[in-house]
């Protein structure tokens, strides 16, 4: 108990010291009531503002206008990289208190909003595009309200009192639990001691009981009495022995009933004493039950063996059916593959035969064209065929050629027969029809593509004109 109290006092002292240190830090950071520091930081280069006295003066005037303070009461106390500290010094404590209250009412967000409203022209050329930041060092409570040093110390003492009170409550709860545990343990120890005493008293009472009661009738004399000199040794009768034993057993039963140590196990021991006939009947009943259990077990084993045999036969039949189905599917697949191979071979043979026939026809047509071309005696098969001049059975072809000296020669040569001439005319007609179809298809294609082509040309012309106009405008500028 003393150790717990010492630990609680140590913890309370540590917490009190930590609270005092925290309060002193806040008091030190706040500074005297007649002096207030405002941190003003800038983003960007600071050297230009540091060397620009006009910009510094303008900044002091702006801060004075926002805070409602005379400019000569404000001075720049310290310069460091990236920031400037503007210090407000008041000779009159009442004015300082009024200024402090005013800053307590005015939040840091409002102060920053006013500073952000300043234009670069007001702050000067050296501090363009920079942000002013105000840091309020006023001591405040948990709700954001201003707080004095006295109120801060009062809060510290109140928190310390709450802490000590809560620790006292915890200590009382722990002490109460410990006392309850001690009381419960004492009660259990007393119960154990009481039970132990009752057990020993029972054992002592049983030890004092004699096997033969002296007041019983026909009691057996002691061995010393029977061994007295002059008296023969007598044997006790069976009736007296049985009477003494029954009296002793009744005495033990009475003691068991009177004793408080008659537990469930003792009662069970008394109840389990059975007659021999009852034991025999019980053993016979157990034997019949055991035989019935063996018979049921044998029937269950026979049933399980029969079910296992049936299951095995069903599995064998299923395997045989599955194998037959797989064999049938394999035979069908082989027959199908064979039929497909035969069909493919027949189709390939037919294709080869058709190709051979087409090749023969193409060669015959080519040979016919070559013969007709040779008989016509012209290179351009699209030219009309000259009819027969003199001989109706013959055709005369006119060959025009130029000699090495530049003379033009026209040679009339006898042509093929009239039948061959007709064949050549037929071939030439087919060639002309083919060329006419090609020309017609070409004209239709050009007609279909003409709108898209015209649109592309128009877009290209518009783009070129726009480029020319923009170039001309740039040159004029």
Predicted confidence at residue 392, as pLDDT, reads 45
In the structure, what pLDDT confidence band is assigned to residue 312 with cuts at 50, 70 and 90? very high
What is the rounded (10 degree) CA torsion for 88, 94, 100, 103? -90
For residue 208, give the H/E element and its range.
helix 149-208
In the structure, what pLDDT confidence band is assigned to residue 235 with cuts at 50, 70 and 90? low
**d(C-alpha 148, C-alpha 153), whole Å:** 9
Residue 415, SS3?
Answer: strand
In this prediction, residues 341-363 reach a mean pLDDT of 84
In this prediction, residues 314-325 reach a mean pLDDT of 90
3-state secondary structure string across 125-137: HHHCCCCCCCCCC
In the structure, what pLDDT confidence band is assigned to residue 386 with cuts at 50, 70 and 90? low
pLDDT at 306 over 60: yes
Give tens-digit pLDDT for 428-443.
778 888 888 889 888 8
Q: How many CB atoms lie within 10 A of CB 297?
A: 10
Q: How many CB atoms lie within 10 A of CB 210?
A: 9
Pairing of strands 74-80, 83-89: antiparallel
Residue 399, SS3?
Answer: strand
Percent of the chain beyond pLDDT 70?
Answer: 48
Predicted confidence at residue 471, as pLDDT, reads 79
Q: Considering only residues 95 and 326, tell me which one the structure prediction assigns the higher pLDDT.
A: 326
Predicted confidence at residue 164, as pLDDT, reads 87
402, with CB counted inside 10 A (0-12, 13-18, 19+), is exposed
pLDDT at 335 over 80: yes
Q: Which of 67-81, 82-96, 140-154, 395-409 has the highest mean pLDDT?
A: 140-154
**d(C-alpha 185, C-alpha 307), whole Å:** 64
Q: What are phi and psi of 117, to 5 degrees?
A: -75, -15
Contact predicate 163/129, CB 8 Å: no
Domain residue limits, the chain: 2-167, 394-458
Give tens-digit pLDDT for 80-132.
444 454 554 444 444 444 443 333 334 444 544 555 555 444 444 333 333 33
Residue 116, SS3?
Answer: helix
Encoding tokens for residue 105?
A: 């009412």
Predicted confidence at residue 395, as pLDDT, reads 52
454, with CB counted inside 10 A (0-12, 13-18, 19+), is exposed
Q: Considering only residues 93 and 21, tell me which one the structure prediction assigns the higher pLDDT.
A: 21
Contacts (Cβ under 8 Å, ≥6 apart) of 329: none
In the structure, what pLDDT confidence band is assigned to residue 52 with cuts at 50, 70 and 90? low
In the DSSP assignment, the letter for residue 146 is B
Predicted confidence at residue 133, as pLDDT, reads 37
In this prediction, residues 305-322 reach a mean pLDDT of 90
* Mutual angle of helices 276-376 and 418-476, in 10-degree steps: 110
Q: What are phi and psi of 135, to 5 degrees?
A: -115, 115
pLDDT at 332 over 70: yes
Encoding tokens for residue 195?
A: 């039970």
In the structure, what pLDDT confidence band is assigned to residue 67 with cuts at 50, 70 and 90? low
In the DSSP assignment, the letter for residue 219 is P
Alpha carbon 106 to its chain's center: 48
Contact predicate 86/40, CB 8 Å: yes
**d(C-alpha 400, C-alpha 456), whole Å:** 48
pLDDT at 321 over 60: yes
Predicted confidence at residue 47, as pLDDT, reads 52
Window from 93-107, 206-220, 303-317 with minimum mean pLDDT: 93-107
């Amino acid at each position: 108990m003393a150790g717990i109290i010492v630990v609680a006092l140590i913890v309370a002292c540590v917490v009190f010291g930590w609270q005092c240190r925290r309060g002193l830090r806040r008091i030190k950071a706040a500074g005297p009531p007649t002096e207030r520091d405002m941190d003003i930081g800038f983003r960007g280069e600071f050297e230009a503002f540091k060397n620009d006295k006009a910009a510094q003066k303008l900044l002091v005037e702006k801060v004075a206008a926002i805070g409602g303070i005379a400019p000569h009461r404000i001075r720049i106390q310290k310069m460091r990289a990236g920031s400037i500290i503007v210090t407000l010094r008041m000779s009159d404590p009442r004015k300082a208190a009024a200024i402090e209250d005013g800053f307590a009412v005015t939040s840091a967000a409002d102060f920053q909003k006013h500073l952000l409203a300043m234009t670069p022209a007001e702050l000067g050329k050296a501090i363009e595009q920079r942000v002013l930041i105000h840091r309020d060092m006023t001591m405040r409570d948990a709700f954001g309200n201003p707080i004095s040093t006295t109120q801060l110390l009062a809060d510290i003492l109140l928190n310390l009192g709450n802490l000590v009170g809560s620790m006292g409550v915890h200590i009382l709860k722990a002490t109460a639990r410990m006392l309850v545990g001690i009381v419960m343990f004492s009660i259990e120890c007393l119960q154990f001691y009481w039970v132990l005493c009752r057990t020993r008293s029972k054992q002592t009472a049983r030890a004092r009981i004699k096997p033969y009661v002296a007041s019983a009738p026909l009691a057996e004399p002691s061995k010393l009495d029977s061994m007295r000199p002059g008296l023969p040794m007598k044997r006790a009768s069976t009736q007296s022995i049985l009477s003494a034993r029954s009296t002793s057993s009744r005495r033990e039963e009475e003691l068991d009933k009177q004793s408080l140590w008659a537990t469930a196990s003792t009662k069970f021991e008394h109840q389990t004493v059975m007659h021999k006939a009852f034991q025999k009947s019980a053993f016979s009943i157990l034997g019949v039950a055991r035989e019935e259990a063996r018979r049921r077990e044998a029937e269950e084993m026979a049933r399980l063996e029969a079910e296992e045999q049936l299951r095995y036969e069903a599995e064998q039949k299923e395997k045989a059916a599955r194998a037959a189905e797989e064999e049938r599917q394999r035979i069908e697949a082989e027959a199908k593959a064979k039929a497909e191979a035969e069909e493919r071979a027949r189709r390939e043979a037919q294709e080869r035969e058709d190709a051979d026939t087409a090749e023969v026809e193409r060669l015959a047509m080519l040979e016919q064209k070559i013969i007709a071309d040779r008989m016509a005696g012209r290179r351009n098969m699209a030219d009309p065929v000259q009819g027969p001049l003199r001989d109706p059975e013959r055709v005369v072809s006119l060959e025009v050629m130029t000699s090495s000296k530049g003379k033009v020669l026209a040679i009339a040569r006898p042509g093929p027969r009239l039948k061959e001439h007709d064949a050549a005319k037929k071939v030439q007609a087919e060639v002309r029809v083919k060329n006419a179809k090609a020309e017609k298809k070409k004209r239709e294609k050009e007609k279909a593509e003409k709108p898209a082509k015209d649109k592309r040309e128009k877009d290209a012309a518009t783009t070129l004109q726009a480029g020319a106009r923009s170039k001309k405008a740039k040159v004029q500028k």
